[in-house]
Structure 1
């Protein structure tokens, strides 16, 4: 009977010659020392190398990823490219996502209305066109609306509109016969439920009427 060839052990695989050595550079990474090998279910292994990154970070990278050029940094290159794309598309102001970008994303992914092709262009062109057509959001109180809800989002049918203040938002403190007190205390003193008082104030009732049992 012919025996099958024995599978090489992890030790025999990692002991083979390597073209990587401490001091070698791969992109932003400089190899400093060999680390523990990468094992997958004990079937094979790959050499791994501890590396210092030019940005000040560090990483442990498989040898094949270094040699193929798949990994060239500790992750900082990927992060920089992401920030660059966001900035190039106008999605960020400083380190914060622009409210216009959030509104554009919500519009695109909404389920209740169609969006014109101009604002759906790929590679950031859609957002640039959207911002050029509507301009920045005037204030945090403005929201994106369609003038005619039956028509899709288009430059002529979309606008920033200031949201009206919510009428009758319950207040934390109210004045009852010259005394300032919390809503809960006022409700208990009047002999009504706290939730009832809140609902009445939300509907625009006067304080006197809202506290009437």
Structure 2
């Protein structure tokens, strides 16, 4: 652990350091600060020294309030992307903070303090409803120079933990293998991370038509016929078979309708589609609905902390 830097009586932005506070849960020093607005707040020393936190939040709330009055976009997807981007970088209670703000990832001042600047950049640089914001260099923060709009597959290729696989003397990422072999990326990903041998991961034939025959308890039927008899949505049963489920488990496991389609405000989509539209992490939304049995409206409208 490095030597403690005493910040007492120093000023950072609108904050004046009064005294040392209690360490945060990671053991990092925090400081009690007095803001120019009169509020007292406790701030991580790193955030103070790096200029990440400059007020108790009053300045950001003021700018956000002003922005809300002028652009009228607070309920749009792009506003949610902007808000979540900041939250995972600066809110220590955000479940993704350790992977972003905890690693020193920040948002440039022009975007952090002004949604209209972010919105202008987004509109001029290819924003679409089916794309997400992606940092080109994962070691740097969010800024016009380091961001782009990308598909999920493009973003997966750009992650720090992207996995390259060597097979038959050729090395590529899983998504690149998926493109070359014309196998859905999701199928390839699940095969690989289930520990299947590489020859089975890459060479197992995918039968996508519903005429594939399955024999169970002495009866032989295709997937669609089994789905109808067992009361399981065809897509669900087909996915189970493609994922390598045991036939008995695939046919006898009762389906949870929340895994399929959810209707809200007259619109019906899968959980994955709702997660993308609402800019909520898929696993978070799935847990709310399936594990904790939250009402749909609560699951959709509760902010991610």
TM-score class, shorter: 0.3 to 0.5
- TM-score, length basis structure 1: 0.39
Higher strand share: 1
Q: Which has the higher contact order (CA 8 A, sep 6+)?
A: 1
Structure 2 length-normalised TM:
0.28
